[in-house]
Structure 1
Amino acid sequence: MGGKRKTNENEGMEGEEDSKHNIKKMKKEKSEILPSSIKNKEKRSAVHAKLKHQKKLDKRKKLKARDATAKRALELGEEPPPKQIPRTIENTREADETVCMPDDEELFAGNDADEFSAVLKQDRTPKILITTCRFNSTRGPAFITELLSVIPNSHYYKRGTYDLKKIVEYANNKEFTSIIVVHTNRREPDALLIIGLPDGPTAHFKLSSLVLRKDIKNHGNPTSHEPELVLNNFTTRLGHRIGRLHTVLFYSNIRVLALHTPCALDNTVKYVPSLSNLIFSLVRLFGLRVSDFVVDLYIFESKEIKQSESKGKKAKDTKGESISKEKVIARLQECGPRFTLKLVSLQHGTFDTRGGEFEWVHKPEMDTSRRRFFL
């Protein structure tokens, strides 16, 4: 009888422990419920805000612990722990055989004889013709007006019923160096066609995420200064060619052009902008698979900084005197437009849909990975 009572007591204690364990497990599962699984909007928002706040606190705590460990190691004369390299799309991009190397002599020789060399060597002055497709939209003219204010020495011509081949012939006779055709669909600009003259190439871009100047909060207005062009990550053969195609649109005799590539190619055009121009346009083109076109202004502001200084030796009665000094601070102000370009095709020569030879064409089966870039 005593043994049976002991076994019953043990079974009861084990049952209580199991029930406590189950309660803890249920509480843990409740705390790990995803906000997306909650149907009530208010509860879902509250849970999401709580999780976000907790994640922020944990991150801050982790950073403080890491800084304290590094500081302790420096005080003890030991080596601090190695800095962690963040995982980004750029440093995890898939390897590409067409990436330009600094010692690529074939690429250097090709730059001196390609279609853009005449403009980049200043043998020809850039002159851009901007037109539209045959069916223009209500937002197209506003976009073209902002392009005219950004691209130097650009001129707008109404398309009318003229064929594009006739426009290319006319532009060659008038010594234009490039043609930009703004294509619209459903009253919205959706594509850009850039044609290099007189021998091409022709690049077709898909245009998306267009934001005009009036829609940008606290936007600036473009000035009459020559633009500075900054190209980042145009590392492949195709990207290098597309970068030069954009370069001939903005290139000027004042040499305020800055071309930045990770490869640091020796014979690519690289100039340091003149600091005498206090305010001038900045055109940024980041070229991976998608190019983001942003127009910014360099603004130099002078701000007063107060510094406290005391005369003579320090004493109880001496008071510090504040001296104000001016310090020049540079910042960027976006003036628009802002849009995204995605390369669809690159064609040899000028525009020809029937007999044209394509250098590169984008196909849907190419988009197998987000870490694969073509430019």
Structure 2
Amino acid sequence: MVPRTIENTREPDETVCRPDDDELFAGNDADEFNSVLKQERTPKILMTTCRFNSSRGPVFIKELLTVIPNAHYYKRGTYDLKKIVDYANKKDFTSIIVVHTNRREPDALLMIGLPNGPTAHFKLSKLVLRKDIKNHGNPTSHKPELILNNFTTRLGHRIGRLIQSLFPQDPEFRGRRVVTFHNQRDFIFFRHHRYIFETKESKVRDSKGKKVKDAKGEKITQEKTIARLQECGPRFTLKLISLQHGTFDTKGGEFEWVHKPEMDTSRRRFFL
């Protein structure tokens, strides 16, 4: 019997994507991320901070630069975000990531797709930098593999494609790097690992757990391949606040989706 959990008893949602949804696949061919995901354009990311920066902001960005290939950091200075968008478009950037800080701690992330949007605003929490992760590994410069897990609705599918457009679509498996965005109850958990496959010998046991022996009385062994993970960091959690049509515009921008307090009426209602 399958135990009842909040996930498998979630409220029915008509926007959940289905494998035979032709309209969804047709929309993929016409959305803003199509050129990057079809490798017609190479992802090129501009990273910057908010105007009032903190000490942990640049450190966090420095670690993000090791996660996302072809990402470049530019100091914000006093430039308005619209001017940064114009500059990034002229320099053929495909996305902008802005790290917002509050009380010396990064607390929000802004992802802007270029040249035509969309703009996603995330709350950032539970940040753990690489140096604070016990027995952490150091990532290589290989292009990572990307895992997007549990983005099931139309909105989740769109957010997943936005995240996917940040990374090259031709991972270098030799580097054994994997970047994971796991959505659970509308919280997106980010992890960055290196992995290795090892072959180990293990004793063969019967149904009662006893070690099996051959005719000579020697214990029978079998080779078993296992995967070992080493976290590289950073580690953080995102929660979507809003998704806006086009590039960043606080006054005339049209929002596709905005989280409001009255939406949180049920623990079993999820949007991604």
- Of residues 233, 250, 253, the one that matches 1:353 is 250
Which amino acid is the alignment partner of residue 342 of structure 1? Answer: K
**1:19 is matched with which residue?**
none
Which sections of structure 1, spanning at least 5 residues, go unmatched?
Answer: 1-83, 257-273
The offset of 1:228, in angstroms, is: 1.3
Which amino acid is the alignment partner of residue 48 of structure 2? Answer: T
Whether contact under 8 Å (1:204, 1:343) holds in the other structure is yes
Give TM-score scaled by structure 1 length: 0.66
Tell me how large the CA RMSD over aligned residues is.
2.1
**1:59 is matched with which residue?**
none
The offset of 1:319, in angstroms, is: 6.9
**1:232 is matched with which residue?**
149
d(CA) in 1 for partners of 2:6, 2:229: 25
Which amino acid is the alignment partner of residue 122 of structure 1? Answer: Q
| 1:114 maps onto 2:31 in alignment | yes
SS in 1 for 2:252: coil
Equivalent residue runs for 1:20-169 within 5 Å: 84-169=1-86
**1:282 is matched with which residue?**
178
Which sections of structure 2, spanning at least 5 residues, go unmatched?
Answer: 205-211
The offset of 1:335, in angstroms, is: 1.3
Which amino acid is the alignment partner of residue 366 of structure 1? Answer: M
**1:32 is matched with which residue?**
none
Which amino acid is the alignment partner of residue 368 of structure 1? Answer: T
Whether contact under 8 Å (2:143, 2:170) holds in the other structure is no
d(CA) in 2 for partners of 1:105, 1:326: 45
| 1:330 maps onto 2:227 in alignment | yes
| 1:203 maps onto 2:115 in alignment | no
SS in 1 for 2:79: coil
Whether contact under 8 Å (2:177, 2:193) holds in the other structure is yes
**Are the structure 2 counterparts of residues 89 and 251 from structure 1 closer, same or farther at C-alpha, using a change threshold of 3 Å?**
farther
- Of residues 181, 196, 220, the one that matches 1:299 is 196
**Are the structure 2 counterparts of residues 223 and 324 from structure 1 closer, same or farther at C-alpha, using a change threshold of 3 Å?**
farther
d(CA) in 2 for partners of 1:135, 1:339: 21
Whether contact under 8 Å (1:195, 1:203) holds in the other structure is yes
d(CA) in 1 for partners of 2:242, 2:213: 65
**Are the structure 2 counterparts of residues 209 and 103 from structure 1 closer, same or farther at C-alpha, using a change threshold of 3 Å?**
same
**2:207 is matched with which residue?**
none
Query: Over residues 252-293 of structure 1, what are the superposed CA-to-partner deviations in whole Å (9 max), with x where a residue is unaligned?
Result: 334x6xxxxxxxxxxxxxxxxx5xx2x422111122411111
Give TM-score scaled by structure 2 length: 0.90
SS in 1 for 2:165: helix
The offset of 1:324, in angstroms, is: 8.5
SS in 2 for 1:142: helix
Task: Answer with 1 or 2: which has the greater Rg.
Answer: 1
Greater RCO (Cα-Cα under 8 Å, separation 6 or more): 2
**2:270 is matched with which residue?**
373
Q: How many residues align?
A: 264
d(CA) in 1 for partners of 2:220, 2:102: 61
Structure number with higher helix proportion: 1
d(CA) in 2 for partners of 1:230, 1:212: 21
d(CA) in 2 for partners of 1:300, 1:225: 18
